[in-house]
Structure 1
Amino acid sequence: MLDDTLKSQLNAYLQKVTQPFEIVASLDDGAKSQELHRLLTEIAGLCDKITLRTDGQDARTPSFALNRPDEDTGLAFAGIPMGHEFTSLVLALLQVGGHPPKTSDEVLEQIRGLEGELHFETYYSLSCQNCPDVVQALNLMALFNPNVRHVAIDGALFQDEVEQRQVMSVPSIYLNGEPFDQGRMSLEQILAKVDTGAARREAAKLNDKSAFDVLVVGGGPAGAAAAVYAARKGIRTGVAAERFGGQVLDTMAIENFISVPETEGPKLAAALEEHVKQYDVDIMNLQRAVKLKPATAPGAEHQVEFESGATLKSRTLVLATGARWREMGVPGEAEYRNKGVAYCPHCDGPLFKGKRVAVIGGGNSGVEAAIDLAGLVAEVTLIEFMDELRADAVLQKKLASLTNVTVIKGARTTEVNGDGTRVNGLTYEERASGEVRWVDLEGVFVQIGLVPNTEWLEGSPVELSERGEIITDARGMTSIPGIFAAGDVTTVPYKQIVIAMGEGSKAALGAFDHLIRS
């Protein structure tokens, strides 16, 4: 199961285990159970504090639980957690074995204080880069609160459950048998949803903070760069973000970040946050901006109001709220979101194994999605509005070599169709002839670009373009003195990570220059 390199790395990690525990496996005669048994045998052989038992009685097979002596931790995996979930497995082994998590005492105390029986189930796919955050967060909650239980389930391996519960997007989280949430969630986000008083308490803390010199709104590449550059000037700097990392968290492969040949979005996002934490920066997560109140007089402070009820003040602002996937805006899209309509082929693709899907969009993102999905699903239909694909030539060449991909150009998607519970087709119009056609399928992956996150600025004096982007000058300043903006939320062309970082740095320098001249 494990190659020599991976085994050597795992062996080094397991040296950190300080207390004994058991792996209790529930197996049957199937090939996957044999595969899991080999993996668990190898793991147990690497550490004398780990004991493997194969007398588990869980109804899901193959599966395994991690239990301490005389203690059911409530932590289990159903399936074989390799791929992106291998990290979740390693962390679970270490933490059950006594290695402390890199989590603040305040958060751990919040976990311990949760009341009531909380039984979580998370459906993941091995190719989902968003799933490990959820799995690791819920595993940690199970370990630190005996009222919490969590089982991480490989959706591709337990197709009957996926079909029964109509899981069509991962991660999908169930709490006490009922849908809880879908998509990437941090530990703090999960706690905020379970602990209903958490947001109110956090808002009260934020309201008591004194004014910042620079407040960055947004925690993506632009926001992180702005925070680092501002903090290095020795001025009071804060970052308020809905989720640190922004859309980078939803990006799979990154191969054009200069000096780093290849990486993955979540890894880069973690590195960004770690870099910001090297400086005296006040990071405030789970804060969604809802209103901007610019300063009313020279020398006064700008104010930003947040959905949580908090209000933060600052002498200057850097707005870096980024962008999100653009929606088609056609009938059925919203109704069938996460019921066949998806926006992340890497995450949700495995759930459509052997089925027919469509990809909407012929740019790089759309063609890359079609190529990736072609290796998983039965048929891919790529639909492009223009008369030609816009993707790079190398991607188009690869796409053309695939026998299970059909490309339809010059077509306008008009409706996503379904039976009330899930997608069963798509309607499009041939732009040249006006003829309306139907495609019989089970999934639709939308890849048609980005829309800026500027709804919260509507009605404010900050000038926006026709596309809703923030207009900035050469120094990154908006139409309001002292308010700067950077990254995908602005009119700067070419929405790229490396460009966003440069723009964030420039905006912070512009803000500092404004401060010393005011």
Structure 2
Amino acid sequence: MLDTQLKNQLDSYLKNIVSPIEISVSSDASPKGQELTELANEISQLSPHISLQQVQATRSPSLGIGAQGQSPRIHFAGVPLGHEFTSLVLALLQSGGHPSKVAPELQQQVRELKGEYHFETYISLSCQNCPDVVQALNLMATLNSNISHVMIDGALFQEEVNARQVMAVPAVYLNGEHFGQGRMSLQEIINKLDTGAEQRQTEHLNKQAPFDVLVVGGGPAGVAAAIYAARKGIRTALVAERFGGQVQDTMGIENFISVPYTEGPKLVANLEQHVKDYGVEIITHQRVTDIRANNDNAGLLVPLASGATLKSRSVIVAPGARWRELNVPGEQDYRNKGVAYCPHCDGPFYKGKRVAVVGGGNSGIEAAIDLAGIVEHVTVLEFAEHLRADEVLQRKAKSLPNIDIITQAQTREVVGDGNKVSGINYIDRASGEQQYLAVAGIFVQIGLVPNTEFLQGSAIELSPFGEVIIDAKGSTAIPGVFAAGDATTVPYKQIVIAMGAGATAALSAFDYLIRS
């Protein structure tokens, strides 16, 4: 089942197991059941520390992983391949005593959690956001005997998915109740369980001495800025709601120079390691609410939504952008109930169904092409008279028999039955007539909007589109404040451009510091 190269890699990983573990397999006669049995057998043969037993679990096919002689607290309902293969490998290593690279203080927080926590996470194997959640909850289960977790492949357990009306992943349940939706880090999960964690972090941040450079944003621009600043030997920190920004949600990246192909999560992992190598203080899960002058001392104040306030001699603003929403009736009502923004993550839940993609740019047409291999039919709705996607993408989409393209379509309303999407209303701009399209899912791909709401009303000048206005050096209207990336007036929004802009802003900040 596993090819030779993958077996060799897995064999080298499993050598890190230091204590015996047991894989409990609950199989059935289905093809997936046989596939899971074969996978478990191959894994058990690669290490003398792994034993195998057959069991009858609530869900089949599934496998449990735990220390030998103990009931497993980690389960995979389905075959953990695709994006979840790494989750399986880490579960084996951590259950076998190999230490996690997660910060020791976070691990200690997990160990100290009181109460019983039984997590269930519905995933799709094509979802690049799901492994972060699965791996975080699996680690928690290895650290605390009162925590258990099961990953559930929604494609295999459709009855559960339908009963719980899961239409977007990852979807996390705790003790039978909905706990969270979408990407969540270990820190975010702990903060929801440990009610005193946020207050302790706020107190810690308020005690921080002023930084030389504080970068706001954890995407490519912010990371490049932090690295270039740290290389100058000055005290640097990076604050962001989540590390990686929009790149975390990007599937294939083929235009990053010298790297023919990579994926967003992989690139983000490399960025994080690179910035850590320079000793930059990374402050995540914190939302900046303002940037203003420090009236008591020289420098700037950066208040956070948690109540903490950071101080710095200079600031680089690089908050990036997010998916633009339709802003029509019904969109928020049916978000994650048929309205989706990530075709790679949520596409498998619409297998055999009819869906719409709103947007005819590169992202919209790429989404339509990807979805065409999964769903029954895709209809692309584009506002303009012509598609804006690259010609090569247009030719591919038009060659597929289950893709229709409608131009001059103005989306007016998302329609549903109260529980899930049933269709979309749009205006035919050529005739002025209202049209109805019956679909089970709507994938919104209409571009990006800058994350600059926190700067509204500040002295930092914004364009009519909400972008931070900068000059050629990345300077803003406030001395000591610089900006870079997709949230600025830079004309093209690309990863490689954002990185270059981040480097420019950092060099400008350093020049500002040595001159003042």
1:324 and 2:322 correspond: yes
DSSP-derived class of the 2:291 partner: strand
Encode CA deviations 1:299-329: one digit per residue, 9 max, x unaligned. 7121111111110011100001110000000
1:101 and 2:96 correspond: no
Q: State how 1:420-439 maps to structure 2 within 5 Å.
A: 420-439=418-437
How far is the alpha carbon of 1:35 from its aligned partner?
A: 1.1
Answer whether contact 1:73 1:142 (CA < 8 A) is retained: no
Q: Which amino acid aligns with 1:32?
A: K
The separation in 2 between residues aligned to 1:149 and 1:60, in whole angstroms, is: 15
1:415 and 2:399 correspond: no
The separation in 1 between residues aligned to 2:235 and 2:20, in whole angstroms, is: 46
1:260 maps to which residue? 259
Answer whether contact 1:73 1:146 (CA < 8 A) is retained: no
Q: Which runs of 5+ in 1 are unaligned?
A: none
1:364 and 2:367 correspond: no
2:67 maps to which residue? 68
1:495 maps to which residue? 493
1:138 and 2:108 correspond: no
1:513 maps to which residue? 511
When structure 1 is superposed on structure 2, of 368-377 and 25-34 the one drifting more is 25-34
Q: State how 1:75-86 maps to structure 2 within 5 Å.
A: 75-86=74-85
Q: State how 1:99-248 maps to structure 2 within 5 Å.
A: 99-248=98-247
Q: TM-score, normalised by structure 2?
A: 0.99
How far is the alpha carbon of 1:21 from its aligned partner?
A: 1.1
DSSP-derived class of the 1:109 partner: helix
Answer whether contact 1:231 1:279 (CA < 8 A) is retained: yes
The separation in 2 between residues aligned to 1:316 and 1:350, in whole angstroms, is: 46
How far is the alpha carbon of 1:57 from its aligned partner?
A: 2.3
2:333 maps to which residue? 335
2:5 maps to which residue? 5
1:445 maps to which residue? 443
Q: State how 1:470-489 maps to structure 2 within 5 Å.
A: 470-489=468-487
Q: Which runs of 5+ in 2 are unaligned?
A: none
Answer whether contact 1:362 1:384 (CA < 8 A) is retained: yes
Say if 1:216 and 1:472 are closer, same or farther in 2 by CA, change over 3 A.
same
2:44 maps to which residue? 44
Q: Which amino acid aligns with 2:453?
A: E
Answer whether contact 1:218 1:239 (CA < 8 A) is retained: yes
How far is the alpha carbon of 1:129 from its aligned partner?
A: 0.5
When structure 1 is superposed on structure 2, of 286-295 and 159-168 the one drifting more is 286-295
Q: TM-score, normalised by structure 1?
A: 0.98
Encode CA deviations 1:50-72: one digit per residue, 9 max, x unaligned. 11111x22111000111212222
The separation in 2 between residues aligned to 1:67 and 1:283, in whole angstroms, is: 33
How far is the alpha carbon of 1:210 from its aligned partner?
A: 0.6
DSSP-derived class of the 2:290 partner: strand
The separation in 1 between residues aligned to 2:32 and 2:193, in whole angstroms, is: 34
DSSP-derived class of the 1:238 partner: strand
Q: Which amino acid aligns with 1:306?
A: L
The separation in 1 between residues aligned to 2:195 and 2:133, in whole angstroms, is: 19
Answer whether contact 1:122 1:153 (CA < 8 A) is retained: yes
2:301 maps to which residue? 303
1:32 and 2:32 correspond: yes
Q: Which amino acid aligns with 2:110?
A: I
Moved over 4 A (4+): none
How far is the alpha carbon of 1:8 from its aligned partner?
A: 1.2
Q: Which amino acid aligns with 1:472?
A: I
2:57 maps to which residue? 58
How far is the alpha carbon of 1:295 from its aligned partner?
A: 4.1
CA RMSD across the alignment: 0.9
The separation in 2 between residues aligned to 1:318 and 1:67, in whole angstroms, is: 46
1:386 and 2:402 correspond: no
2:502 maps to which residue? 504
2:86 maps to which residue? 87
The separation in 2 between residues aligned to 1:124 and 1:46, in whole angstroms, is: 27
How far is the alpha carbon of 1:196 from its aligned partner?
A: 1.4
How far is the alpha carbon of 1:294 from its aligned partner?
A: 2.7
How far is the alpha carbon of 1:474 from its aligned partner?
A: 0.9
The separation in 1 between residues aligned to 2:480 and 2:500, in whole angstroms, is: 19
When structure 1 is superposed on structure 2, of 304-313 and 286-295 the one drifting more is 286-295
How far is the alpha carbon of 1:155 from its aligned partner?
A: 0.6
The separation in 2 between residues aligned to 1:88 and 1:130, in whole angstroms, is: 12
DSSP-derived class of the 1:210 partner: coil
2:346 maps to which residue? 348
Q: Which amino acid aligns with 1:8?
A: N
Say if 1:73 and 1:308 are closer, same or farther in 2 by CA, change over 3 A.
farther
DSSP-derived class of the 2:486 partner: helix
Percent identity, aligned pairs only?
Answer: 63
The separation in 2 between residues aligned to 1:105 and 1:363, in whole angstroms, is: 44
The separation in 1 between residues aligned to 2:233 and 2:30, in whole angstroms, is: 61
Q: Aligned residues, how many?
A: 516
1:270 maps to which residue? 269
The separation in 2 between residues aligned to 1:280 and 1:122, in whole angstroms, is: 34
The separation in 2 between residues aligned to 1:457 and 1:499, in whole angstroms, is: 23
The separation in 1 between residues aligned to 2:194 and 2:513, in whole angstroms, is: 40
Answer whether contact 1:74 1:143 (CA < 8 A) is retained: yes
DSSP-derived class of the 1:223 partner: helix
How far is the alpha carbon of 1:162 from its aligned partner?
A: 0.6
Answer whether contact 1:73 1:143 (CA < 8 A) is retained: no
The separation in 2 between residues aligned to 1:96 and 1:295, in whole angstroms, is: 49
How far is the alpha carbon of 1:296 from its aligned partner?
A: 4.7
How far is the alpha carbon of 1:195 from its aligned partner?
A: 1.0
DSSP-derived class of the 1:437 partner: strand
How far is the alpha carbon of 1:12 from its aligned partner?
A: 1.2
Encode CA deviations 1:311-359: one digit per residue, 9 max, x unaligned. 0011100001110000000000010000000000000001111111100
How far is the alpha carbon of 1:73 from its aligned partner?
A: 3.8
The separation in 1 between residues aligned to 2:374 and 2:201, in whole angstroms, is: 43
